[in-house]
Structure formats: structure tokens, C-alpha cells
Amino acid sequence: MVMTYDYGVTLDRILSSKMLTIPPAFFCRYLTSGWPASPIEQHNLNAELGPWTDHYAAGASMRASLDYKIPVPAQDRVKKDTLIPAVRAFKRKFPEPLLKAMDLTMELQPESRPHPVSQLQQALLLK
């Protein structure tokens, strides 16, 4: 069975497209209730979204699968970041490039995350 995730950016792009006949003012950014894997820019209607937004959510989803618990919400991490980097928390349990890439995707500031997917792919290949 194949599963796909939509972390909200795709919906945001569709809703803002010129093909809609409903005014964009009726829409807000899509955030899944009870799932705090969304990055800080997704909570700001004026912030630019892009691949880096989905990279954060994907990294938070991977982190949740390793921690066996939901990730710390980004809004809480901005106030006080208590998240232990994956490279420390899971050292020698998983490949280091995977852990480094996961940490990179979960950087709080969007400009610190991989922007094109090729940057994320490169991070996964580094040893």
C-alpha cells in the first residue's frame, strides 16, 4: 500500500491559484488539528511557503517515528528549543547522514532548511 502526505503547501498553492472562483479570503492555511509537525511559517499567513516547509514536516514525521511520540510544536521550540538533535539522540542506531538530514529539515528558521529537494538529497548522501 502506498501512502502520501500533504503537509499543507500543496493545498495552499491550489487555493491561491487563479482557477478558483471563490475569493482567497475565505481560506486559511491548512494545519492538521492535533499534529504539530507544521513549521513556524505555516502559522503566519504572510510567510512564504515552499519545499522547505514540507521538508520540515517530513523531518518532523520521521522524527516522530523514531521517538514514538508527536514532535514538539515549532511554536514551542521558538520559545525554548528542548529538542535534542537526532544525531545525538539516535547516535549509532541509524545512519548518520539520515540523522543529519532530519536535523537539517527541522531547523526552525526556513532559510536554514534545504530549499530545493536536491539540497536534501545531497544531505542524505553525505557521510
The larger pLDDT score, comparing residue 92 to residue 45, is at 92
Return the domain boundaries, the chain.
33-125
Written as nine digits, the cell of 64 is 516522530
Closest among 43, 35, 14, 11 to 110, alpha carbons compared: 43
Q: What is the pLDDT of residues 26-52, one digit of tens each?
A: 444 555 544 567 888 887 878 888 889
CATH 1.10.510.10 applies to domain 33-125: yes
pTM beyond 0.85: no
Three-state DSSP at 124 gives: helix
